[in-house]
Amino acid sequence: GAEGSTLMSYFSKNQIQALKPKITFSTLRDLQCPVLQSNDLQGKPEESCSTEELFEWLGAVLNQVNLDNKSSSFLSTYCCPEPNTVVEKAFLCTITGFIIPEKIIQLLEQLCCYFGEPKLAYWLTLTVHGFADSPVSWRESEHGFHKGGENLYNFVIFRNLDYWLQTAVGAHDDCPP
């Protein structure tokens, strides 16, 4: 109606435009991946990795850190936690932009459907990063972005549809309920 046209007029007059999220796909080849067991959060030596080891490894993969554990100049080294397995192809899809919670739920549901047919993957992840200066906060505390800015959560979904939910919030933020 009239309110919609007034709003559109405001946006166009002030050169404000809607942006679509940017989507990129990449294939990671011969990727060492941690061995995980859905019912074992702590991991067991020589059997499975812990949630903390996975979280650290996933951060390295998402930030394109070289995982070959070779030192180069003064750079730190990192390698995949043990036990691990080499995956011939791993797919990474990155969506950058403002994504509403309903779309995140829809993505999560689609990822769960992936296991509806026999697949080789034992698990997959969905990581959601908030903006460092996000106005969103938990409980009654202001988001402490000026002191850290950590603001993310990660679902690890297993073939049997068990899942882990990992969160990272800043030291000056309240934890989610």
| Domain spans of the chain, in order of start | 21-97, 99-176
Tokens, residue 67: 């995982």
CA atoms in the 13 A half-sphere facing the CB of 167:
10
> Which range is least confidently modeled, 86-95, 105-114, 125-134, 142-151?
142-151
Q: List, for residues 21-59, the tens digit of each pLDDT value.
A: 899 999 999 999 999 999 999 999 999 999 999 999 998
Q: Is 46 exposed, middle or buried (0-12, 13-18, 19+ CB in 10 A)?
A: exposed
pTM for the full model?
A: 0.79
Let me know: does 31 contact 87? Beta carbons within 8 Å: yes
pLDDT at 117: 80
Instruction: Report in angstroms the alpha-carbon separations of 29 from 33, 116, 119.
Output: 11, 24, 17
> If you average pLDDT over each of 8-22, 60-74, 144-158, which comes out highest?
8-22
Alpha-carbon torsion, ordered 122, 61, 156, 45, to 10 deg: 70
| Helix, strand, coil share of the chain (percent; to 5) | 25, 30, 45
User: Is the pLDDT assigned to residue 150 strictly greater than 60?
Assistant: yes
pLDDT at 62: 86
